[in-house]
Amino acid sequence: MRHELIKEISSALKAMEQGAFQDFCLDFLPLFDPSYKGLERHGGTVEGKTRKGTPDLIKILSNGKQIAVQCSAETGYWRSPKEKNRFPTWKPCEDIDKCVQHLDNLEEIVLCSSQEVPTDKPNAKADILSYAKDKTNARITLLCCANIENSLINNVGTPDFEALFKNHFPKIHERIAFLKEAQGNKLALELLKERQERPVSLDNVLKIATDATRNFPDFKVAKDYALKKIDELRSRFER
């Protein structure tokens, strides 16, 4: 299930328009890191359209420090110029410069992109961080498509992320429900084969299989979890 979902999530992220991705980041980032809870829209509208403004999202901390988030759905966002003297025209570096120019008390700058880092540009993130250290003392956080999709796939079973899928990727949300049911049935059948060694009721097997597949998209991890739970039940009965 994990492999299928990663492909679908990656495609959905890359297909997002700028306004939709900005709205997604507003909901996603506080789940990715609780320190981003309280971010507010600065460069967008509630209709999912964008307007010019820097940064796209902002949070003011209690000490007056600022967390600035720039969101981009631009293709080739991470593709760096060959010549380093052209870095100021590279979009991630431009975003950092704009934040430094407009904000006076920066704590952190987050660059969040729906695009992948090109395989032929392995130094892209390092180049951005190197550029930024000469511009600001603020912490720089870089989130690309892979970072986002890994966080999503690792939290498929949690209620908050389930709501995120439902609101921003409704087709994938339906797909997850279907895959979980199918995987739960498959796991239950495998667990039932071991009932002679682990005498647990059918209802408990189904409940454990459902719980395992809901929380663990990787089938092997789900099965290991389920077998552990069945062992715990069996030892309880044998006392």
pLDDT value at position 189?
Answer: 82
* Higher-scoring residue by pLDDT: 158, 55: 55
Pairing of strands 57-60, 139-143: unpaired
Domain definitions of the chain by residue range: 2-156, 169-237
Residue 238: pLDDT band by 50, 70, 90 thresholds? low
Q: Tell me the mean pLDDT in the region 43-66.
A: 76
pLDDT tens per residue across span 77-90: 999 999 999 999 99
pTM of the entire predicted model: 0.77
CA distances, 132 to each of 26, 51, 78, 97, 219 (Å)? 24, 25, 15, 8, 42
**What is the rounded average pLDDT for all residues in the chain?**
88
CA distance 22 to 230: 44
* Partners of 72 in beta bridges: 113
Q: How many CB atoms lie within 10 A of CB 172?
A: 19
pLDDT value at position 136?
Answer: 97
pLDDT tens per residue across span 131-182: 999 999 999 999 999 999 999 998 987 889 999 999 999 999 888 887 777 8
pLDDT value at position 210?
Answer: 83
For Cα atoms 118, 100, 124, give the angle at the middle one, nearest 5 degrees.
Answer: 15
pLDDT value at position 207?
Answer: 84
Tokens of 167: 């609101």
Q: Tell me the mean pLDDT in the region 178-190.
A: 79
